[in-house]
Amino acid sequence: MIEVRGLSKTFGAVTAVSDLSFDVAAGIVTAFLGPNSAGKTTTMRMLLGLVTPNAGVATIGGRRYADLPHPSSQVGAVLDTSGFHPAHTAHAHLRLYARMGGHPRSRVGEVMDLTGVAAFAGRRTRTLSTGMRQRLHLATALLGDPRVLVLDEPGNGLDPEGIAWLRRFLRDLAGQDRTILVSSHVLSEVEQMAEHVVVVREGRLVAAGAVANLYGAAAVHLRSPQAGQLRTVLLGRREPAVTVEATGSDALRVHGLTSAEIAADAAAHGIALHEITPERPTLEKLFLDLAGGTV
Ligand X SMILES: Nc1ncnc2c1ncn2[C@@H]1O[C@H](COP(=O)(O)OP(=O)(O)OP(=O)(O)O)[C@@H](O)[C@H]1O
Q: Which is nearer to ligand X, 38 or 163 (CB)?
A: 38
Q: Is 34 in the site for ligand X (CB under 6 A)?
A: yes
Helix (H) or strand (E) holding 113: helix 106-115
Q: Which of 2, 4, 7, 16 binds ligand X (CB under 6 A)?
A: 16
Three-state secondary structure call for residue 139: helix
Q: Which is nearer to ligand X, 34 or 154 (CB)?
A: 34
Q: Is 37 in the site for ligand X (CB under 6 A)?
A: yes
Q: Is 58 in the site for ligand X (CB under 6 A)?
A: no
Task: Give me the DSSP letters along 48-76.
Answer: TTSS--SEEEEEETTB-GGG-SSHHHHEE
Q: Which residues contact 46 (CB under 8 A, 6 or more apart)?
A: 7, 9, 17, 52, 53, 58
Interaction with ligand X in 185-204: which residues (CB under 6 A)? 185
Task: Answer whether 290's CB lies under 8 Å from 207's CB.
Answer: yes
Piece in contact with ligand X (CB under 6 A), picked from 10-18, 79-87, 101-109, 143-151: 10-18
Q: Which is nearer to ligand X, 12 or 293 (CB)?
A: 12
Q: Which is nearer to ligand X, 81 or 259 (CB)?
A: 81
Task: Answer whether 268's CB lies under 8 Å from 236's CB.
Answer: no
Q: Is 40 in the site for ligand X (CB under 6 A)?
A: yes
Q: Is 243 in the site for ligand X (CB under 6 A)?
A: no
Q: Is 18 in the site for ligand X (CB under 6 A)?
A: no
What single-letter amino acid sits at 168? R
Which residues is 223 bridged to in the sheet?
Answer: 251, 275
Q: Of 61, 32, 37, give the one whose Cα is nearest residue 151.
A: 32
CA distance 173 to 148: 10
Q: Is 237 in the site for ligand X (CB under 6 A)?
A: no
Task: Answer whether 149's CB lies under 8 Å from 198's CB.
Answer: no
Piece in contact with ligand X (CB under 6 A), picked from 35-43, 81-89, 103-111, 241-249: 35-43
Q: Which of 6, 11, 70, 104 binds ligand X (CB under 6 A)?
A: 11
Q: Is 39 in the site for ligand X (CB under 6 A)?
A: yes
Q: Is 89 in the site for ligand X (CB under 6 A)?
A: no
Q: Which is nearer to ligand X, 90 or 193 (CB)?
A: 193
Q: Which of 18, 42, 115, 125 binds ligand X (CB under 6 A)?
A: 42
Cα dist. 63→27, 158, 231 in Å? Answer: 19, 33, 55
Q: Is 36 in the site for ligand X (CB under 6 A)?
A: yes
Q: What is the contact surface with ligand X in residues (CB under 6 A)? A: 11, 14, 16, 34, 36-42, 185
